[in-house]
Amino acid sequence: MSKSAILVTGGAGYIGSHTCVQLIEQGYEVLVVDNLINSSEESLRRVETITGRKVPFFNLDLCNREVLDAFFARQKIDAVIHFAGLKAVGESVRIPLRYYENNLVSTMNLLECMEKYKVYRLVFSSSATVYGNPETVPLREDCRTSATNPYGATKLFLERILTDVGNANQKFHITLLRYFNPVGAHKSGLIGEDPSGIPNNLFPYITQVAIGKLPKLSVFGGDYPTHDGTGVRDYIHVEDLAAGHLAALAHLDDKAGVNVYNLGTGVGYSVLDMVKAFEKVSGAKVPYEIVDRRAGDIATCYADASKAMKELDWKAERGLDEMCEDSWRWQTKNPNGYKG
């Protein structure tokens, strides 16, 4: 007997596609909505190859309320995992209005349709950026929140909107997952992170330099108050992150209202730590250059993920070597990403 029908918004993206695989493997029915602005339908074809199951895909924009309403009217949906949104910190600083409009309007449209069609279970893709410039690390869910860039501000505003919606309608069960830095790829090497243009995230930048697509890694800032001057982050394998969504889904009915969890490893690594680890695992060289700090970036950020362990029975299982191995396998098998 199949489990619930889960709508995955942004399901063709990096984290969404890995989560779709795990949902299908656990017996869920999956529906994917994505406008393919920063993703590829090829990722879903690969999800079908991995799982042996057809993935119903709908190319639509959540910002179009009329189209979204018609979609909800036709589908049976038991819960939503909401990944869809623009997500590049640097780009958000350059074009803030596009980020505010896209991320806020799409989510409000989604919530209105969920309420209209009585779909009350939601797992939301938030971010550690809501902690702003941390006063203390590791970061706990009750730490002060703020935003240092427009992308982070959209996540912070959406957390507030979701909290208000959950308070106003007690039928809602909403879980906010604050991700730290996802890396890695599926063991098969069939799906992984496929940024368009110059990567915004560290790992695809490292792997593209290692394979020769880019000449060198630009390290943004070498004068942070860290052990080697470069920014420290909590890197989590995308498969562990996907498993966190399934854990959140499984525990959605435990508590009414809105609950928030960090998804991270609890360990901070600097940019140069990651470069050295990757070189060791891959045997490839990654030349780099220290350049100016990037607007909106912070020095150090890593998680206290003990609440997720206690309440969701989830913890990150994969270490740094596995993150590097899986990233390298994806890159070498797919030197041009899904376009290859």
Residues known to be catalytic: 151
Q: What's the order of all strands across the beta sheet hosting 121-127?
A: 57-59, 29-34, 5-9, 79-82, 121-127, 173-179, 257-263
3-class SS of residue 325: helix
Q: What are phi and psi of 203, to 5 degrees?
A: -65, -45
Separation of CA 54 from chain center:
23
Residue entry with tokens 């090497």:
189
Distances (CA, A) of 10 to 60, 119, 186, 291, 314: 10, 18, 18, 32, 23
SS3 content of the chain, % helix, strand, coil (to 5): 40, 20, 40
Q: Strand order in 300-301's β-sheet?
A: 269-270, 232-233, 300-301
How many Cβ atoms sit within 10 Å of the Cβ of residue 124? 25
Give me the DSSP letters along 200-213.
Answer: SSHHHHHHHHHTTS
Peptide bond into 215 cis (omega under 30): no
CB atoms within 10 A of CB 224: 19
Q: Is 314 strand, coil or helix?
A: coil
Main-chain dihedrals φ then ψ at residue 57, nearest 5 degrees: -120, 135
**Rounded distance, CA 202 to CA 208, Å?**
10
Q: Round to whole Å and give the CA distance between 14 and 338.
A: 11
Written as six digits, the tokens of 130 are: 């809501």
